[in-house]
Amino acid sequence: MSMEDPFFVVKGEVQKAVNTAQGLFQRWTELLQDPSTATREEVDWTTNELRNNLRSIEWDLEDLDETISIVEANPRKFNLDATELGVRKAFITSTRQVVRDMKDQMSNTSVQALTERKNRQVLLGESGTHSWSSGADKYGRLDREMQSVNSHFIEEQQAQQQLIIEQQDEQLELVSGSIGVLKNMSQRIGGELDEQAVMLDDFTHELDSTQSRLDNVMKKLAKVSHMTSGQSSDTSPSPLLGEISDTVSTHQRGFLSQRKKLLWGL
């Protein structure tokens, strides 16, 4: 059997790791059954070390599987027969089962429940004077921490409430200012509408007066036309026609001026 065979190097490391893990597992079991024999720090350290060792063993077993694959790929180089390969595979299988048993025990539901219950007892100081640490001191510290957290929470809530109130006050001021602006605008619009109503009344009266005057002018125009119908075509226009034309033009200009004022006012 060649000394270059890597299986034995890894196998030795695995055996040492298994022995260490079994010692840690035994101590972990003792601490779980009687927590008064150690501190909380030792329990946490033992648990973490045991888990790390088991994980490391699993990785080493994977390396051993690879060494077997290497040997099987080139059996002449390592001078191994089927019996030796079977022994190596059996070692890997049995070691993997030992690791699995310890992991199953650590992940057992009842064991986890017992661990959590012991942790609560230590945290609340219910495990007596010989527990993982002083129960009274831990309970007092827990009470102070809870009071500090509650006080901090109340202060944050009060500050948040004050900020909300200030923001609401600012919004109310903005709304109040907007209402004042709208009120002034409505008053101005109302005044302008009143002025336009007066202008509309004046325009209506002026329109009625203009219509009456136009009717009179048309009557005079018809009368003059009838009177001059017998005269010759070269007869000069009557001064009355000029007066009528001026009157019509004046009233037309007044009518247009009033209409422009009303339109610009609207």
**pLDDT given at position 72:** 84
Q: Could you report the per-residue pLDDT of 124-135, keeping only the tens digit for each? A: 554 444 444 544
**Residue 150: what residue type?**
N
**In the chain, where the domains are located:** 7-133, 153-226+238-265
Q: Could you report the per-residue pLDDT of 145-198, keeping only the tens digit for each? A: 656 655 665 676 677 678 777 877 777 777 777 787 788 888 888 888 888 888
How far is Cα 190 from Cα 258, in angstroms, rounded to an integer? 21
Nearest to 90 by CA among 19, 7, 25, 3: 7
Kindly state the tokens that stand for 200: 């509309």
**pLDDT given at position 130:** 47
Which residues does the chain have with pLDDT short of 50?
Answer: 1-2, 126-132, 134-136, 232, 234
Kindly state the tokens that stand for 102: 């310890």
Angle at 102 (CA atoms; ends 99, 106), nearest 5 degrees = 135
The second-level CATH assignment, the architecture, of 7-133 is Up-down Bundle (1.20)
Distance of CA 8 to the CA centre of its chain: 58
Place of tokens 């000029």: 242
**pLDDT given at position 128:** 46
To the question of pTM greater than 0.75 for the whole model, the response is: no
Kindly state the tokens that stand for 233: 């075509």
Place of tokens 């946490």: 44
